[in-house]
Amino acid sequence: MSTASTTRLTLPLTALFAVCFVAPLCVLVALSLAAGPDGGVATIGHYAAFVGDRFNASILFDTLWLGVKATLVCLLFGFPVAWICARAHVRWQSVLIFLVVLPILTSVVVRTFSWIVILGRHGLLNQIVLGLGLADEPLRLLYSEAGVIIVLAQVQMPLMVLPILTVLSRIDSNLFDASQALGAGQWRTLWRVAVPLSMPGIIAGCILTYAASITAFVTQTLIGGARLIYMPLFIYQQAVGANNWPFAAAISVIFMVAVLVVVAVLNGFGRRFEKHV
Amino acid sequence: MNSRNAFSRRDFLMAGSALGLGALLPGLARAAGEELVAATFPGTWNEAHRNILKPAFMKGIDASVVQSIILGTDQISRLEAAKGGTPPFDVAIFDSPQVLDAVKQGLIMEYPVAKSPHYGELLPAFQDKWGPKISMQVIGIAYNPERVKTPPTRWEDLWDPRYKGRVGLTALNSQLGIAFLAELNRIKGGTDADFGPAFKALRELLPSVGAIAANLGAYATLWQQEQVDIAPYNFNFVQTLKGKGVPVEFVVPETGPVGWQTSMHVVAGSRVPELATRYIDTHLDAAVQAAMMKPPYDVIPTNGKVALQGAMTQTIARTQADLEKIRGLDWAALNPQRSALIDRFNREIRA
């Protein structure tokens, strides 16, 4: 197929992208530069107000840091799950993959509410803890950062497992046999062969999980409550609660740029690693 | 390749166009008949409107109604975004603070009183040229009677060390949050220009606070999961929770009930203003309001012909005359401060 016809084929997608993504983004940036809700002279005042206030900066930092923690927990549990799926017998593999994908098939709101039942004061987890005598009074899991991380890790887990699983299942299993034949133990084979070869999947999984975790408005607000303020709730409060659309637009742009920087760093890390391997 | 069976690019485009047309068809069909889109609030309101208002409105007319669940602040945002074009809904439902915003921004039209036979039956306090008040929301103290053995009598009871870690609050993006803060400020000697006393009291309350919900939906969950035992709350929401078997009771503090009004409005630019007026007028009908007053809705009536009954007579008002005495809030003074109050609240409460 010639380049010209390939270009023509991409036109519908390009148009859709321009209308549904680029245009709203331009509107967002324009709104963030408006002096007041009704427009006015362009100003960078909203950006300056955000950057100049340590409280706002700490919300941004906490949000980005929350993403790092949730992603690490996801990776810690997601890699073994992907590993088991990839190494399982074909018959079991489809069952395991179905189980991994299962959470995506239900609404995130439903999943989050079910976690409220599990983490609540009289929830399942606290009943187990109290029943085993591990604590004298119910643990405070809801409305805490630990609770938010636990739920985010579970809710976003498929986004971590699936890319790693795809890469792991493409690795020639003879490489593992060769490693062990040459004297490496199972852990060394995992660390020196499986992990480096699955790095593209790990990076992709981390990017997806990270982006989904820091923007997870529903989970952050329902499990974290109003005392743990992260960027999505902050933007919502400014836009809908305070009716301050230009400021909400400005902090949305700042948030987006911050996320893009983190994703770019992860991507760069992935590329360097590929060259190294 | 057999060209007759192949799916050519032209076939693909035609199928695509047909799909696109199909997506547009509901819109075309709507243009043929009259359809009213009415906003409603989540929870109790949505249920009362679906089960009582809709059937009453549909009686004897050839039109359909779609009830769309949207919060008041979101309604303002959507109407603003659609300004100049066709509005996304024809009937708006607002609490007092949003009415001021909507009037200022030209989002609603004056209510055609002459076309609304039931309007004259409303108590004078509930008549408004921008749209009739359909009910009141009253706040007080909600508590779990299984864990709070002595019913609270005053707002200060929230500070009682017995309830340490068991007090609930909600963020300021709801009327409940703002109204509680404003009432607290008044009790502690503050003014609308100085919220210092309220924030000082709030700071002292924080060690007792077990959870601050980000929105009213999450607030209800706090009670269902028995995460909190005592908190400021709306009368109606407490009744709804009680109806669902949640152990919760409602008391009005000795400083008296505080509340705001809920009203319905014909949206400016609506394609079906007559239908919208008829829909709102149905809400003012004594029979409809009497039905909504029954549990599990417990909607406070505004029509003078409806005698108060049920839980509201034990806590809020014995008679219609008492309803008019419920203290309101100065939203004209509060609205411009909303952004600053939310900001200050965030800084005070942040964990």
Q: Residues of CATH 3.40.190.10 domain(s) within chain B? A: 34-135+260-322, 137-259+331-349
Q: Which of B13, B80, B215 to mutate to test the interface with A (most CBs of A within 10 A)?
A: B215
pLDDT tens digits, one per residue of A189-200: 888 888 899 999
The SS3 call for residue A247 is: helix
- Look up the ipTM and state it: 0.80
Second CATH level (architecture) for the domain B137-259+331-349: 3-Layer(aba) Sandwich (3.40)
Closest by CA position to A154, among listed A94, A50, A74, A87: A74
Closest by CA position to B169, among listed B112, B102, B218, B98: B218
SS3 of B53-102: the string is HHHHHHCCCCCEEEEEECCHHHHHHHHHHCCCCCCCCCEEEEEHHHHHHH
Which residue reads 């643990």 in tokens?
A139
Judged by CB atoms closer than 8 Å, whether chains meet at B214 and A117 is answered as: no
Q: Which of A59, A144, A243 to mutate to test the interface with B (most CBs of B within 10 A)?
A: A243
Task: Look at chain A and report how many structural domains it folds into.
Answer: 1
How sure is the predictor about A176, in pLDDT bands with cuts at 50, 70 and 90?
confident
- A9 lies in some domain: no
Judged by CB atoms closer than 8 Å, whether chains meet at A120 and B227 is answered as: yes
Closest by CA position to B249, among listed B123, B164, B151: B151
How sure is the predictor about B27, in pLDDT bands with cuts at 50, 70 and 90?
very low
Would you identify the CATH topology of the domain B34-135+260-322?
A: D-Maltodextrin-Binding Protein; domain 2 (3.40.190)
Which positions in chain B touch A224 (Cβ < 8 Å)?
214
Q: What is the mean pLDDT of chain B?
A: 89
- A192 lies in some domain: yes
The SS3 call for residue B217 is: helix
Which positions in chain B touch A114 (Cβ < 8 Å)?
none
Q: Which domain holds residue A230?
A: 60-276
Which stretches of chain A sit within 8 Å of chain B by CB?
A: 55, 113, 116-117, 120-123, 142-143, 145, 221-222, 224-229, 233-234, 236-244
| Helices A217-224, B216-224: inter-axial angle, 10-degree rounding | 50
pLDDT tens digits, one per residue of B236-283: 899 989 988 999 999 999 999 999 999 999 999 999 999 999 999 999
Judged by CB atoms closer than 8 Å, whether chains meet at B227 and A143 is answered as: yes
Q: Does B144 touch chain A (CB under 8 A)?
A: no
**A237-245: average pLDDT:** 82
How sure is the predictor about B81, in pLDDT bands with cuts at 50, 70 and 90?
confident
**B90-96: average pLDDT:** 96
Using CB atoms within 10 A of its CB, is residue A273 exposed (0-12), middle (13-18) or buried (19+)? middle
Q: Does B218 touch chain A (CB under 8 A)?
A: yes
Judged by CB atoms closer than 8 Å, whether chains meet at A225 and B211 is answered as: yes
Selecting from A120, A222, A227 the residue whose C-beta is nearest the C-beta of B218 gives: A222
Which amino acid makes up residue B54? K
From CA B177, how far away is CA B349, in angstroms rounded?
A: 13
pTM above 0.90, yes or no: no
Q: What is the mean pLDDT of chain A?
A: 89
Check if the beta carbon of residue B114 is closer than 8 Å to that of residue B91: no
- A51 lies in some domain: no
Strand partners, B209: B167
Q: Given this model, what pLDDT does residue A34 score?
A: 86
Q: Does B346 touch chain A (CB under 8 A)?
A: yes
Q: Does B172 touch chain A (CB under 8 A)?
A: yes
Closest by CA position to B181, among listed B76, B338, B325, B73: B338
Judged by CB atoms closer than 8 Å, whether chains meet at B73 and A228 is answered as: no
Going by the DSSP 8-state scheme, the letter that residue A39 receives in this structure is B
Q: Which residue has the higher pLDDT, B130 or B314?
A: B130
Strand partners, B65: B36
- A73 lies in some domain: yes
- A42 lies in some domain: no
Q: Given this model, what pLDDT does residue A4 score?
A: 76
From CA B262, how far away is CA B41, in angstroms rounded?
A: 10
Q: Given this model, what pLDDT does residue B11 score?
A: 52
Which amino acid makes up residue A43? T
**At residue B189, does pLDDT exceed 90?**
yes
User: Per residue in A256-267, is it b (16+ CB within 10 Å) or e — as a string?
Assistant: eebbeebeeebe
Judged by CB atoms closer than 8 Å, whether chains meet at A226 and B101 is answered as: no
CATH of the domain at A155: 1.10.3720.10
How sure is the predictor about B190, in pLDDT bands with cuts at 50, 70 and 90?
very high
Which residue reads 């108590």 in tokens?
B123
Q: Which residue has the higher pLDDT, A160 or B1?
A: A160
Q: Given this model, what pLDDT does residue B24 score?
A: 46
**A254-258: average pLDDT:** 95
**B198-221: average pLDDT:** 92
**At residue A239, does pLDDT exceed 90?**
no
How sure is the predictor about B107, in pLDDT bands with cuts at 50, 70 and 90?
very high
Q: Which of B13, B169, B346 to mutate to test the interface with A (most CBs of A within 10 A)?
A: B346
- A181 lies in some domain: yes
- A13 lies in some domain: no
Q: Given this model, what pLDDT does residue A40 score?
A: 66
Q: Which of A66, A227, A233 to mutate to test the interface with B (most CBs of B within 10 A)?
A: A227
Q: Given this model, what pLDDT does residue B122 score?
A: 96
